[in-house]
């Protein structure tokens, strides 16, 4: 079975990044993947220290990353780049976590620009050898793209949104689907190579 994990780089209650990632993850599940959600707003992850390998929840979080065949990474746009929350998590990750792992990118802006955030995420995931799919999602003016709905508290923050922008919903679901499909393909090819050896 293919596993896809989403990583939310916003700690904000009522995060639009968290909401969008849920759509991507649901689409990955519909495409046949097992899913997992790492909400960086709900973990204990001290500032990365290069002299200390394991801190807080990092051993458990890295285990979940290594088990995943695909990762959908979402970050809010902070000062034209990704959030420190995303980067702190990413600094714990290495080749081991991204080995043969397909990655998909999502960036959420309060204003109008998300391109540099997606580019920076693509570059830094390349730095740990993640295989980033070409399809990516940028959401601008996020507050206009979602509507609050009665919460089932699946996000743990008492807030739940649904997309009111259909093309964006479809684009976000496509991201989850693409990551699941590419991850399954890669897993199949790995299995074939191993069988050949």
Ligand X SMILES: Cc1cc2nc3c(=O)[nH]c(=O)nc-3n(C[C@H](O)[C@H](O)[C@H](O)COP(=O)(O)O)c2cc1C
Q: Are 101 and 35 in contact (CB under 8 A)?
A: no
CB of 116 to ligand X, least distance (A): 9
User: Which listed residue (2, 3, 10, 58) binds ligand X by CB under 6 A?
Assistant: 10
Structure tokens at 108: 């959420």
Question: What is the footprint of ligand X within residues 91-110 (CB under 6 A)?
Answer: 108-110
Q: Select the residue whose beta carbon is closest to ligand X and give its number.
A: 111
Does residue 77 interact with ligand X by CB under 6 A?
A: yes
Does residue 16 interact with ligand X by CB under 6 A?
A: yes
CB of 76 to ligand X, least distance (A): 3
CB of 132 to ligand X, least distance (A): 20
Pattern 24-53, ligand X, x by CB under 6 A: ------------------------------
Does residue 7 interact with ligand X by CB under 6 A?
A: no
């Amino acid at each position: 079975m293919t596993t896809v994990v989403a990583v939310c780089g916003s700690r904000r209650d009522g995060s639009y990044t968290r909401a969008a990632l849920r759509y991507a993850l649901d689409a990955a599940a519909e495409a046949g993947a097992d899913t997992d959600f790492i909400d960086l707003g709900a973990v204990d992850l001290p500032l990365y220290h290069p002299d200390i390998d394991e801190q807080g929840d990092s051993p458990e979080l890295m285990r979940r990353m290594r088990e995943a065949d695909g990762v959908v990474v979402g970050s809010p746009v902070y000062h034209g780049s990704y959030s420190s929350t995303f980067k702190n998590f990413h600094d714990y990750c290495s080749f081991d976590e991204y080995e043969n792992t397909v990655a998909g990118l999502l960036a959420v802006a309060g204003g109008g620009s998300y391109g540099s955030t997606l580019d920076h995420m693509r570059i830094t995931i390349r730095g740990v050898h993640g295989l980033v799919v070409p399809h990516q999602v940028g959401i601008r003016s996020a507050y206009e793209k979602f509507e609050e709905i009665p919460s089932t508290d699946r996000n743990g923050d008492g807030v739940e949104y649904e997309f009111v922008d259909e093309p964006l919903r479809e684009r976000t679901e496509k991201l989850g689907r693409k990551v699941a499909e590419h991850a399954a393909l890669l897993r199949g090819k790995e299995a074939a190579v191993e069988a050949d050896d």
